[in-house]
Homo-oligomer: A and B are copies of this chain.
Amino acid sequence: MSTSPLDYSQDPPRSQYDLIIRKDKPFNAEPRIQDLVKHYITPEQFMFVRSHGPVPMHLNDSHIITVQGGENTKEFTVGQLKTQFKKYHVMMAMQCAGNRRDGLHRVKHTKGVIWGAAAVGNTTFAGCRLRDVLHAVGVTSFKNDLHVAFESVEQCEETPCYGSSIPLCKALDEFGDVLLAYEMNGKPLTRDHGYPLRVVVPGYIGARSVKYLKSIIVQDHESTSYFQQRDYKLLPANVSCEAEAEEYWCKVPAIGEFNVQSFVCSPSHEEEDTIKASGIMTAQGYALSGGGRGIQRVDVSNDNGETWQVANLYQPTLTTSAHIWGWCLWTLKLEYKGYPIVSRAVDSAGNVQQEYPVWNYRGVLNNSWRTVNL
């Protein structure tokens, strides 16, 4: 654990963003909620940034990634990964496990950056497939209980470096679409988003999409990193402080896939007040689910959940495909009746957002459709 304070003086300039800063050092910021639904593919200007420490410096195409699988260890520069492996594109929603933490924090104190509902975005990534790189070190078949651990160059406030892992079967799944990405939205990754190379794990919480990748190890246990073992877990509601959490970290599984989610982005709560006069409004929002589950329906209510109307969905992927990684934007014209507009999404497996928040200490995976002010 580093004892001297981390140095943020070399963080990149950020004037190009249109974001609300939730924490300055490390830099954590999300867009205004009404900006989030202006584009189906989120421009970087409106893409949330989640950092755990200072942005690494002096990295480029000669940065070396160590890949270890079984007896084999190989090293690849970022440049080699770009030229030696086929390039793939994945359009996917990236969502922080702490998206909408504010809703749980209003119920009771939570630990973590107090995100609103915009710690999510939908972008295209390009890079080589992790599957292909693992094949190149001889990892082709797999057991359910093997894992791929990622380590980052990123120095964190909590630990010397960021790390995380995913099950090997996700990594090797032909339709798992896990990439070692070097582009976002058709341009090289920027420093805030993981330059020169990051993992992207579609359908999983953002914490598993490790930025500034340094090493990949296939092993028989999960990453031992703080971020896999003592964070990003859904603790039971009776755990409300660090001391109580202590005995639960080893009992509760690390989060992989996220749950079904939706939110009304426009009008924002502030805008609703000014819209009252006109009577009719067009509500807009996003919806998404984890694990490749598409959204099959979004219900919207203007009367406090008494009645629901079905929204129009925009989710331009094959409706028959097994995996849908991109989010769904939705709109619905409806009358303003004095209540906040609320939405409730149903995913392809029939999972529905719950009504009230189920509070948890780390404030993760909040997906209640009712926003409670206590």
Residue A323 interfacial (CB < 8 Å): yes
A144-B322 contact given A237-B308, A238-B310, A310-B236, CB 8 Å threshold: yes
Per a CB cutoff under 8 Å, which of B141, B238, B252, B354 touches A296?
B252
Measured between C-beta atoms, what is the minimum distance from A28 to chain B in Å? 21
Task: Mark each residue of chain A from 308 to 334: 1 if its CB lies under 8 Å from any CB of chain B, else 0.
Answer: 101000000011111100000000000
Closest to A321 in B: B144
Cα A358 to Cα B253 with chains together (Å)? 29
B259 lies within 8 A of A321 (CB): no
Are A175's CB and B238's CB within 8 A?
A: no
Q: What's the Cα separation between A83 and B355 when bound, in Å?
A: 52
Q: Contacts A169-B175, A351-B260 given: A320-B145 contact, CB under 8 Å?
A: yes
Docked-complex contact B257 and A293, CB < 8 angstroms:
yes
Q: Does A88 contact B (CB under 8 A)?
A: no
Q: Is the interface of A mostly helix, strand, loop or mixed?
A: loop
From 238 to 287 in chain A, residues with beta carbon under 8 angstroms from any chain B beta carbon are 238, 252-253, 255-260
Other-chain residue from B167, B252, B358 in contact with A320 (beta carbon distance below 8 A): B167
Q: Report if A365 contacts B (CB, 8 A).
A: yes
The answer for the CA separation of A145 and B222 in the assembled complex, in Å, is: 33
**A348-364 interface with B by 8 A CB criterion:** 348-356, 358, 364
Among B142, B352, B356, contact of A259 (Cβ-Cβ < 8 Å): B352
Q: Which of A149-188 contact B (CB under 8 A)?
A: 167, 169-170, 173-175
Taking Cβ atoms with an 8 Å cutoff, the residues of A that contact B are: 141-142, 144-145, 147, 167, 169-170, 173-175, 221-222, 234, 236-238, 252-253, 255-260, 290-291, 293-294, 296-297, 299, 308, 310, 318-323, 344, 346, 348-356, 358, 364-365, 367
Shortest 4 CB-CB distances between A and B: which pairs?
A: A350-B365, A257-B349, A259-B350, A144-B321
